[in-house]
Amino acid sequence: MNYAKLSYVIRVTHKWIAIAVAAPLILFIATGIFLQVRKPVEWIQPQSARGSAIFEPAVTPGQVLDAVRGVPRMKVQTWDDLTVLDYRPRKGIIKVRTPEEFETQVDAKTGEVIKSGQRWNDIVMKVHDGSSWGGRLWLMLPAAALTLYLLLSGIYAVVTSARRRWHQWRHSCAPERQRGTMLHQRSFNLARFCLKYHFWIALIVMVPWLFVVGSGIVLQLRHEIPGVNPELERGSSSTPVLEYQAVLDIAKAIPELKVKGWSNIWRVYTYPQRGVMQIRTKLGVSAQIDAATGEILNVGARSADFWEDMHEGIFGRHQLQSGSPFGEKTVHFALAVFLPVHIIALFLWITGLVYFVRTVLVPKRRRKREAEAPDSASLAPTA
């Protein structure tokens, strides 16, 4: 294999693909940073409150609807005005959302409204993956796949460049002519500066970004890959009447869920417009039941929560149906590692763009001007 030719091809394709995905990539990074800080920033996503009691849901769906009707900002009259009810047993609350991404948190025991606010994170999330403007599969997915190539080709370039730098360091006692050349190169050059720090910064981000980009591609295909995010079934009625205690009893009767009590259930989602309730655990399995009759509609793998955690930098909270590859302990790298990595990635994007402009576009324009300039020899006076 001709490694010199392979390295050349990888460098050239890396450069031009980076330009091709420059706009989607900056959209990925900018919205990703916004979403990464959504939990500590109340304005982006209302923080989850705590109800008066955990594991004791006593309100009926009708009482939740009545409570939300009393919040003018929600503009809710019927079940058709709601998209989802998100019951969180460990918090003792029910998050109720509208199509406009407004949210009201209701105490799951007393039915009292705790807080209400706009969920900007859901709006930005749809921009992040392209679903809000129909670009999820035709633009954002190819851009994510090409970003994975950029990452892998960048790792290859980093490794080969590191080997070259190592050999240069070992032979630092060069002849005077070479040392003179090295001294001459110390004068500041913007393109060389960007290439140098693009190289070193890439060492910092490449491992976390493997997790980010790899899981991002899976999430882009969440509706197409079986077992990632199963399609919602349809129930018999758009009016949910099933109480949460009945949901728990049904969950206990489903062996795949391994539920013994509310502590084994992560969340219960109610989708009024579909007439379905979805029971989710942290074991990579979910069950869909009719929100009116309690009939079991679907039981199967659901790994989307696992991939979303990995995408954010959280490991061990959810697992795949086959088990957890990260062990039992939950480790949060979202703010301490992945957020700085996303910010540093902006620097990579900027330095890569500057290097391309300085080494490709500027010399190309210079050569064009030289070609268009009149020949000095032809303008010289004749004897």
What is the model's pLDDT at position 324?
Answer: 81
With 90 as the cut, is the pLDDT of residue 378 above it? no
The pLDDT value recorded for residue 356 is 86
Share of the chain above pLDDT 90, in %: 72
pLDDT at 183 over 50: no
Confidence class for position 176, pLDDT limits 50, 70, 90: very low
Decide: helix, strand or coil at residue 104.
strand
pLDDT (average), residues 165-176: 58
Estimate to the nearest angstrom the gap between the alpha carbon of 206 and the chain centroid.
16
pLDDT tens column, 75-89: 999 999 999 999 999
Where does the pLDDT of residue 380 fall: very low under 50, low under 70, confident under 90, or very high at 90 and above?
Answer: low
What value does the mean pLDDT take over residues 191-219?
A: 90
Mean of the pLDDT values across residues 238-262? Answer: 97
pLDDT attached to residue 190: 86
- For 336-339, the CB contacts below 8 A with 24+ separation are 337/208, 337/313, 338/36, 338/208, 338/212, 338/312, 338/313, 339/33, 339/36, 339/37, 339/313
pLDDT tens, residue by residue, 148-165? 999 999 888 878 876 666
pLDDT confidence bin for 171, thresholds 50/70/90: low
Of 226 and 323, which is predicted with more confidence?
A: 226
Label each residue of the chain as H, E or C.
CCHHHHHHHHHHHHHHHHHHCHHHHHHHHHHHHHHHCCCCCCCCCCCCCCCCCCCCCCCCHHHHHHHHHCCHHHCCCCHHHCCEEEEECCCCEEEEECCCCEEEEEECCCCCEEEEEECHHHHHHHHHCCHHHCCHHHHHHHHHHHHHHHHHHHHHHHHHHHHHHHHHHHCCCCCHHHHHHHHHCCCCCHHHHHHHHHHHHHHHHHHHHHHHHHHHHHHHCCCCCCCCCCCCCCCCCCCCCCCHHHHHHHHHCCHHHCCCCHHHCCEEEEECCCCEEEEECCCCEEEEEECCCCCEEEEEECCHHHHHHHHHCEECCCCECCECCCCCCCEECHHHHHHHHHHHHHHHHHHHHHHHHHHHHHHHHHHHHHHHCCCHHHHCCCC
The whole model's pTM is what? 0.89
